[in-house]
Homo-oligomer: A and B are copies of this chain.
Amino acid sequence: MSGALKDAIRVERPAKTLRELALDKVREAIVNGYFRPGDRLVERDLCAQLGVSRTVVREVLRHLESEGLVAILPNKGPIVAQLDIDEAKQIYEIRGALEGMAARLCAERRSPEIVAALEESLAGIRNSYRDNDMAAVLTNTSSFYHTLFTMVDRNVAWGVVNLLTVRINHLRSMTIKTERRGIEGPLQMSKIVDAIRRGDGEGAYRAAMDHVAAASAIAEAVLSAKKLAE
């Protein structure tokens, strides 16, 4: 049997273990608001809803705990983590530092491929805004930063940013819907790309920082408004 054929025949195996599937499901459910912050996550209920055993559910909950998405109260069990405003600001700050770093590295590499890839993601974002498809805006924004990090082989930093980002996901979806964000957001991101194109490391750094700083400010306003409403 030829090697090529063997590859062609290869069955697309799920490869994902049940645990990973369950993990994704629950994380999904948390980030898109099916479980609200503060909700209790009763193990046996989750077993029923997911159709898996308690062992799996427990492993999933531990994993999400270490991601910061669920908190485990002593003698009371897991709840969906609340995020307070200060923590959110810290997360934005860290993202600023790391994304700024990645942007600087991209600029210093002076590679047309990087610019092209970023432009493509950026176009995707603009289109999604035009179509008013906010979910697509989020995924395209993620892919923009994903290329920013992976084009300069910074997968660890990308992992850190990703980890932090899920914790503020519902904030992201709120900031994105804000008035004017549909114009200013892509504008700021194109400044990042411009700086990278002309090899301006410092400029790229500043532009990336500015972008998350703006997001952070909006998030803060949104959060404190919500707190007042209660």
Of B55, B91, B97, which is within 8 A of A97 by CB?
A: B97
Flag the segment in A131-139, A151-159, A170-178 that touches B.
A151-159
Q: For the side of the interface on A, what is the size category?
A: 20 to 34
Copies per complex of this chain: 2
Do A91 and B156 have beta carbons less than 8 Å apart? yes
Interface SS of A by simple majority: helix
> Is A66 an interface residue when CB atoms closer than 8 A count as contact?
yes
Chain B: minimal CB distance from A206 (Å): 14
A residues touching B (Cβ–Cβ < 8 Å)? Answer: 15, 17, 19, 55, 58-59, 62-63, 65-67, 74, 86-87, 90-91, 93-94, 97-98, 101, 153-157, 160, 164
Q: What 3 pairs between A and B have smallest CB-CB spacing? A: A90-B156, A66-B66, A59-B62
Apart from A55-B55, A62-B63, A93-B157, 11 more pairs, CB < 8 Å: A15-B74, A17-B74, A59-B62, A62-B62, A66-B67, A86-B153, A90-B156, A90-B157, A93-B101, A94-B156, A156-B164
